[in-house]
């Protein structure tokens, strides 16, 4: 009997050669080009970072193959004894790092995590307060084009006109008047520390759930460079990448018991932790991505190392140094500076839009994103600002002195936004500058001398 046709469909790795290159050279080529881009550019997008080789190894591991619908000890598929241990390991590490009573590591990312929070705590049409998008908030905190702004009644809060920081006095007045069922504290473009104690006091006054979105600052919290919302908030949601340097996933922390159970969920048989779990699965998701949970467990192990505290604090030092250098060069910053990992350039007095400057910076090897500023007169598709972040360049080993040089690069491009020759020269200098530093997960290049622009 001829079994050649059966043998033909068996997958075999090619010895001595990259399997990806052997199977799909086009994707392999794109991967190499992406590596080259990340070796030679300044990654200043505040939501991006470099995952370690260990995290990348776990992400691409055979845990990708396993279906594990359900939770440890209660799966809907057989053969999950090992992945049960894996998920429990990630949960315990997460609870330990943040001091939380409960943790769920199955959300596919930050927005699905936030959606699960809504479904666990609220009913459609309930009032939700969140920092407005122009003020630095996130789409899922009640913005009109997002499910959170269509399925729930949005009550935005904003910033003080002079300080451009959260106006807690006005927030309290709005909360007392509107009496929302949930208040978000957190944002995607807010460069200052959140006052969790003040927010908890306000939320308690109006019997509101308080939920912190720490997607951007989770690594800073672990490092002790930013206050921990656990203890102040009913629920905490996050991505697992950004400043904590993990895979692209999400997680949710919460108390076990619901202080508003009798008020808002008197008929429920489940406590807060159980309702969170049931909202993630089976309400919103199917099988978890066990390879991502494996990579998260590795991330949490790395974050528990004392060196991570040094890293997280250096992120803030670098952001402050970059902010100060840009201020000295005459640039305006939202709130006048930063307390965390990001800063927002306010370019309303400049001739071009934030998008136009971001495009020119990218041509020069400086990767950032255009961003709205408070009171932005431009459309969100173009904006008047640029958001800059320090996590990735800090992961490369850069410190305050390098931030001064980065500010010089930025200034050269922004002062001559329509000169492609300047952009090309800066691009070459940025590549030489980056060559002196290691790129986690990509190269083990030893530091050396670099060519810089003046």
The pTM of this model reads 0.94
* Residue 299 sits in the same domain as residue 320: no
Burial 79-96 (b: 16+ CB within 10 A, else e): ebeebbebbebbbebbbe
371: domain CATH number is 3.90.1150.10
| pLDDT at res. 448 | 43
Neighbouring CB atoms inside 10 A of 155's CB total 18
* Res. 412 pLDDT band, cuts 50 70 90: very high
Indicate whether 230 and 330 sit together in one domain.
no
Residue 1 forms part of a structural domain: no
Does the residue 45 lie in any domain?
Answer: no
Per the annotation, binding residues for (6S)-5,6,7,8-tetrahydrofolate are 133, 137-139
Q: Once rounded to an integer, what is the mean pLDDT over residues 101-127? A: 98
Does residue 452 form part of some domain? no
If asked whether residues 329 and 183 sit together in one domain, one would say no
Structural domain boundaries, residue 230 = 62-303
Provide the pLDDT confidence category of residue 9 given band limits of 50, 70 and 90: low
pLDDT tier at 449, thresholds 50, 70, 90: very low
Q: Are residues 282 and 390 in the same domain?
A: no
- Render pLDDT for 226-255 as a digit per residue (tens, 0 to 9): 999 999 999 999 999 999 999 999 999 999
Domain end (from 303, 322, 338): 303
Residue 74 lies in a domain: yes
Q: Is residue 46 part of a domain?
A: no
Q: Assess whether 275 and 400 both reside in one domain.
A: no
Beta bridge mates, 332: 346
Say how many domains are in the chain. Answer: 2
Give residue 74's pLDDT. 97
pLDDT (tens digit per residue) in 295-343: 999 999 999 999 999 999 999 999 999 999 999 999 999 999 999 999 9
- pLDDT at residue 15 is higher than 90: no
**Boundary-marking domain end, from 283, 303, 323:** 303
pLDDT score recorded for residue 446? 44
Same-domain status, 265 and 327: no
CA 121 – CA 276 distance, rounded (Å): 8
What gap in Å lies between CA 308 and CA 294, rounded to an integer?
Answer: 19
pLDDT tens for 168-196 read: 999 999 999 999 999 999 999 999 999 99
User: Among residues 122, 89, 82, which one has the least CA distance to residue 105?
Assistant: 89
Helices (H), 179-269: 196-205, 218-222, 261-264
Point out the domain boundary residue: 278, 303, 328: 303
The arrangement of strands across the sheet holding 102-104 comes to 102-104, 250-254, 235-239, 209-213, 182-186, 127-131, 153-157
Between the two ends of the chain, the Cα-to-Cα distance in Å is: 75
Does 221 fall in a domain?
A: yes
The annotation places the binding site at 133, 137-139
* 375: phi then psi, degrees, rounded to nearest 5: 75, 25
CATH number at residue 108: 3.40.640.10
Query: Catalytic site residues?
Result: 67, 69, 213, 239, 242, 248
Instruction: Report if residue 443 sits inside a domain.
Output: no
């Amino acid at each position: 009997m001829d079994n050649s046709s059966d043998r033909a469909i068996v997958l075999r790795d090619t010895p001595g050669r990259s399997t990806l290159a052997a199977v799909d050279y086009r994707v392999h080529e794109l991967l190499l080009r992406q590596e080259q881009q990340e070796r030679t550019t300044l990654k200043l997008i505040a939501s991006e970072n470099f995952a370690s080789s260990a995290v990348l190894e776990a992400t691409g591991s055979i845990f990708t193959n396993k279906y594990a619908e359900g939770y440890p000890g209660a799966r809907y598929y057989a053969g999950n004894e090992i992945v049960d241990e894996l998920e429990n390991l990630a949960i315990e590490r997460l609870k330990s790092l943040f001091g939380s009573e409960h943790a769920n590591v199955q959300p596919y990312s930050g927005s699905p995590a936030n959606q699960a929070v809504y479904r666990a705590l609220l009913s459609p049409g309930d009032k939700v307060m969140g920092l407005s998008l122009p003020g630095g908030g996130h789409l899922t905190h009640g913005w009109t084009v997002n499910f959170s702004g269509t399925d729930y009644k949005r009550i935005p809060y904003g910033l003080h006109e002079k300080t451009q920081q959260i106006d807690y006095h006005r927030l309290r007045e709005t909360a007392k008047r509107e009496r929302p069922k949930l208040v978000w504290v957190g944002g995607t473009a807010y460069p200052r520390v959140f006052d969790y104690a003040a927010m908890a006091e306000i939320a308690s006054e109006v019997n509101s759930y308080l939920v912190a979105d720490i997607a951007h600052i989770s690594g800073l919290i672990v490092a002790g460079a930013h206050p921990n919302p656990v203890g102040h908030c009913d629920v905490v949601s996050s991505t697992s990448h950004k400043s904590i340097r993990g895979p692209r996933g999400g997680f949710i922390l919460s108390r076990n018991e619901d202080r508003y159970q009798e008020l808002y969920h008197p008929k429920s048989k489940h406590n807060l932790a159980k309702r969170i779990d049931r909202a993630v699965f089976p309400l919103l998701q199917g099988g978890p991505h066990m390879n991502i949970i494996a990579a998260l467990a590795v991330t949490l192990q790395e974050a528990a190392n004392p060196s991570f505290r040094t890293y997280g604090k250096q992120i803030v030092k670098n952001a402050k140094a970059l902010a100060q250098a840009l201020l000295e060069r005459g640039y305006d910053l939202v709130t006048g500076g930063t307390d965390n990992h990001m800063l927002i350039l306010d370019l309303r007095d400049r001739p071009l839009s934030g998008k136009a400057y971001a495009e020119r910076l990218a041509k020069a090897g400086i990767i950032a994103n255009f961003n709205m500023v408070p009171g932005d007169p431009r459309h969100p598709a173009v904006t008047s600002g640029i958001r800059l972040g320090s996590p990735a360049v800090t992961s490369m080993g850069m410190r305050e002195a390098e931030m001064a040089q980065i500010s010089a690069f930025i200034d050269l491009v922004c002062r001559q936004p329509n000169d492609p020759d300047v952009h090309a020269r800066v691009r070459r200098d940025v590549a030489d500058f980056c060559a002196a530093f290691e790129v986690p997960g990509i190269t083990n290049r030893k530091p050396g001398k670099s060519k810089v622009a003046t």
